[in-house]
Amino acid sequence: MARFVLRRVALLLAVLFAVTFLGFAAMNLLGDPLVNVVGVLAELDCDAIEAGTAEDTTVDAASRDCDTVAAARAEYHLDRAVPVRYGLWLGDMATGDFGTSFQNDQPVSQVIREKLPETVILLVMAQAVALGLAVPWGVLAAYRANRAFDRGSTVASFGLLSVPNFALGVVLLYLLALRWQIFPSAYESDSVSGLLFSMVLPALTLGLPLAASYQRLLRTDLITTLQEDYVHMARAKGLPPMRIMFRHALRPSLFSVVTVFGVSTGTLIGGSLVVEQIFGIPGIGREIVTAVIRDDFPVVLAIVMVVAVTFVVLNFLVDLLYSWLDPRVRAR
Amino acid sequence: MRSVGVGALMAGDPLLSVRDLHVRFATERGDVNAVNGVSFDLHEGQTLAIVGESGSGKSVTAKTLMNLLPRSARVSGEVTYGGHDVRALAAAGTKHFFGVQMTMVFQDPMTSLNPVKRVGEQIAETLRYHLGRSRSEARSEAVELLDTVGVPEPARRVRQYPHELSGGLRQRVVIAMALACRPRLLIADEPTTAVDVTVQKHLLDLLDDLRRRRGMSMILITHDLGVARGRADDVAVMYAGRVVETADADTLFADMRHPYTEALLRSIPRIEDPVHHRLDPIQGRPPESIDPPEACAFAPRCAYAQSDCLNGVPELDGLLGLHRFACLHPTGTERGAAAMSANQAAGVTAAGMPVGGDR
Ligand SMILES: Nc1ncnc2c1ncn2[C@@H]1O[C@H](COP(=O)(O)OP(=O)(O)OP(=O)(O)O)[C@@H](O)[C@H]1O
Ligand code: SF4
Ligand SMILES: [Mg+2]
């Protein structure tokens, strides 16, 4: 177990290293970061101004433009080569200094702290919707495989899987919020219950297609499991069908679902970019869109890191789930 | 939902009765006729051995009795248990029938235990469901059961998972699981093929001993006629989905009539054989069960086959419960002897199989 955890931590570090390095390289090579920080001031030829060969056009003498530029260069280590800059930046990160947003001078850690909870709530609710629907749905479809209910489910799930997020979101919004007025149409944060309630539609938008793919996987695996000898044995023992389903067949049939659960978070975060926009949720998804547009690379990198950490941690949980699902994995 | 209490049977009535059972599978390649008109009776406390090569329809017969066939199976005929139609009981969702009245153990102990549940749980769950035992009662009964079937350290074993046990131990667990609710009828489908020979004998003797002590009835399915010897009261020999010979065990071993039974007997290894003694495996392969010709199914492999064997399927002659066989030139009769010498003289049977003169 200790070795298992160590291997995971090593993996986490490797993933973080790779993700941040790529992100860092992209942000630095695809544009001049100095322009992103100080805007047009980046075009000032401060060396010449220092040397007196160019004119200082600063309006406010108290904060000379060239000082601003110099401060930015120092903070983001812009005088150094990109790999060195990356190393220095990593050092800052390690001491908990995530830097400052280019857009509004807020510390990045504060941005994350404000936006992350909304997105986490959204994703947890979406997974709850997906799993809560998929398990009974998949069990019923497998129990009556190839009969009417199963065939109907196949059509319904392919339908859900082929509708794009924004379309599903808009349809749900129109029907459940505007037409029948069951759920609020936009984000509310007055109370916890109001917040959760306003998250139902976004969670459905993200969760329904995921429920459909979980259901397909669970159905297929269950049908295979139901042909196992130990299921026949359970029937020969006279146990009723639903007890056999839930006590004998379900657990060994959850592997594919759990695997997809582990990787679905990436897809869900992708979906949250759109869904947070539609429902006006001030979360990470919306934040990253604006940050990317404005080349706010400290924020982008921080969000990328948060996502990467989540991903690795979730897959660590998935491995633990595997060993709960099958004791033979534990023996390894 | 109701439960069926099968009380004392009327004197002479069988516990289990099977009449003209047919099972057909619709497959892409055509219909597979897995069982073609099987009939037998099993009386309380008796053991019937069903013997035959691979593919002869033994497991399909057993699964029909337990209502375990896939939905693609088309079943006709009658199966009654203590006078109740078994398939009707199953269709009505009758509680506490399977597992309590009749149950089954399967060929392979490696696959018939759920890999993700502790063995104790798997034994205890029937006790809890059928007999309403509490969790702790069921647990201690599971330990006792494991002890009964000769599992060492049963209190530790109940907490283990199937993969932590050897094949022999797993099959003992399966037997304990099947016997938990003291069923009146146990169907054992080649319970020992997956374990080695010494373990095999232990397990068969164990089953036999438990059966006697509990007054249980048993259907013992095997491809080895030697397993039936000394353990079965009656024997039914199956070939290509049909019973081709059946009798009480003593009669069958002393006085067999069907050439297939004779061939099966010759293929059994005997203890007194010298170490490198060559066994006589039955030549050829069992027939395809799709579109079988209207002939004796054994004819292509039968040293006695005559031209009349190729015109129509021989009937299983005789009355139910007596010595019956489906053969036109039975071994040990004058007709059989005449057929054999004619074939030896010709060097070939009517179905085209070469026969040596020295057999
Ligand atoms: N679900 C099924 N679909 C189609 N054919 C089947 C099915 N189950 C069994 N059969 C066929 O029925 C025939 C009898 O099979 P069965 O399993 O009863 O043989 P068996 O006597 O038990 O043999 P073995 O000794 O190998 O267990 C075989 O030809 C088999 O291929
Ligand atoms: S003698 Fe004829 S009927 Fe008898 S088993 Fe051989 S082929 Fe079949
Ligand atoms: Mg079989």
Give the number of domains in chain A: 2
Q: Which residues on A lie below 8 Å from B163 (Cβ)?
A: 327-328, 331
Report the percent of chain B where pLDDT is more than 90: 66
CA of B79 to the centre of ligand 1 (A): 19
Residues sharing a CB contact under 8 Å with residue A248, sequence separation 6 or more, in sequence order: A230, A231, A234, A239, B114, B117
For B:130-189, CB contacts with A below 8 A are 130, 161, 163, 174, 177-178
CB atoms within 10 A of CB B32: 21
Whole-number average pLDDT of chain B: 88
pLDDT value of position B159: 95
| pLDDT band per the 50, 70, 90 thresholds, residue B359 | very low
Q: Where are the domains of chain B?
A: 14-95+187-268, 109-182, 293-359
Please list every protein residue whose CB sits less than 6 Å from any atom of ligand 2. Answer: B 259, 296, 298-299, 302, 304-305, 309, 314, 327-329
Q: What is the pLDDT of residue B245?
A: 96
Is the Cβ–Cβ distance between B318 and B60 less than 8 Å? no
In a domain, A23, yes or no: no
Measure Cα distances from A119 to A169, A183, A295, B255 in Å: 16, 19, 22, 82
Same domain, A85 and A176: no
Half-sphere exposure of A19 (CA within 13 A, CB side): 19
The domain boundary residue, chosen from A41, A75, A97:
A97
Shared domain check, A216 and A146: yes
- Evaluate whether residue A6 is within a structural domain: no
- Measured CA to CA, the distance from residue B49 to residue B34 in angstroms comes to 18
Better-predicted residue by pLDDT, A305 or B51: B51
Per-residue pLDDT, B2: 45
What's the CA gap between B57 and A201, in Å, rounded? 56
Joined together, the tokens standing for residue A6 give 């160590």
Would you state the pLDDT for residue B64?
95
Q: What is the pTM of this model?
A: 0.83
- Tell me which residues of chain A, numbers 111 to 130, contact chain B at a CB-CB cutoff of 8 Å: none
Q: What is the pLDDT of residues B299-318, one digit of tens each?
A: 999 999 999 999 989 988 87
Percentage of residues of chain B with pLDDT beyond 70: 90
Q: What is the pLDDT of residue B173?
A: 94
Q: How far is B72 from chain A (nearest CA, A)?
A: 12
Q: Tokens 């993933």 correspond to what residue?
A: A15
Model confidence pLDDT, tens digit, residues B102-124? 999 987 878 899 999 999 999 99
Residue minimizing CA distance to atom 3 of ligand 1: B25
Q: Which DSSP string corresponds to A268-328?
A: HHHHHHHHHHHHT--SHHHHHHHHHHTT-HHHHHHHHHHHHHHHHHHHHHHHHHHHHH-HH
In a shared domain, residues A120 and A163: yes
pLDDT for A218: 96
For residue B19, report the distance from its CA to the centre of ligand 1, in Å: 20
Please name the residues between 250 and 309 in chain A that touch chain B, using a CB distance below 8 Å: 251-252
The CATH number given to whatever domain includes residue A319 is 1.10.3720.10
Q: Copy the structure tokens of residue B311.
A: 């015109």
A58 and A130 housed in the same domain: no
The alpha carbon of B148 is separated from its chain's Cα centroid by a whole number of angstroms, namely: 24
Residues A173 and A268 in one domain: yes
Instruction: Extract the tokens encoding B259.
Output: 């050439």
ipTM: 0.87
pLDDT one-digit tens code per residue, B133-181: 999 999 999 999 999 999 999 999 999 999 999 888 998 999 999 999 9
B66/A238 Cβ within 8 A:
no
- Asked if A325 and A225 sit in the same domain, the reply is yes
Are residues A128 and A56 both part of a single domain? no
Helix (H) or strand (E) holding B325: strand B324-325
> What's the CA-to-centroid distance between B312 and ligand 3, angstroms?
27
Q: Are residues A208 and A131 in the same domain?
A: yes
SS3 label, residue B242:
strand
- Which residues in chain B touch residue A230, judged by CB atoms under 8 angstroms apart? 111-115
Residue B99 has pLDDT above 70, yes or no: yes
Strands (E), B5-87: 16-27, 30-42, 47-51, 73-81, 84-85
Report the topology of domain B14-95+187-268.
Rossmann fold (3.40.50)
Assess whether pLDDT exceeds 80 at residue B253.
Answer: yes
Q: At what angle do helices A200-225 and A108-143 cross, to 10 degrees?
A: 40
How far is Cα of residue B18 from the mean position of the Cα atoms in its chain? 14
Domain that holds residue A282: 109-331
Residue A10 resides in a domain: no
In the numeric block, which tokens belong to residue B28?
């892409």
**For residue A219, is it within any domain?**
yes
CA–CA dist A206, B337 (Å, integer): 80
pLDDT above 80 for B280 = no
A97, A130, A145: which is the final residue of a domain? A97
* A11 in a structural domain: no
* Contacts with A234 from chain B: Cβ below 8 Å: 114
Chain B residues with CB under 8 Å of A248 CB are: 114, 117
Query: Is there a contact between B99 and A237 if contact means CB atoms under 8 Å apart?
Result: yes
- The answer to whether the CB atoms of B163 and A240 lie below 8 A apart is no
Average pLDDT over residues B251-278: 79
CB contact under 8 A, A327 and B112: no
Sign of CA dihedral A37, A104, A94, A15: negative
- Look at residues A97, A129, A144 and tell me which one is the last residue of a structural domain: A97
Residues in chain A, pLDDT under 50? none
Find all residues with CB under 8 Å of B326, minimum gap 6, and list them: B242, B243, B244, B245, B258, B296, B313, B314, B315, B316, B317
Burial A95-117 (b: 16+ CB within 10 A, else e): eeebbbbbbeeeebeebbeebbe
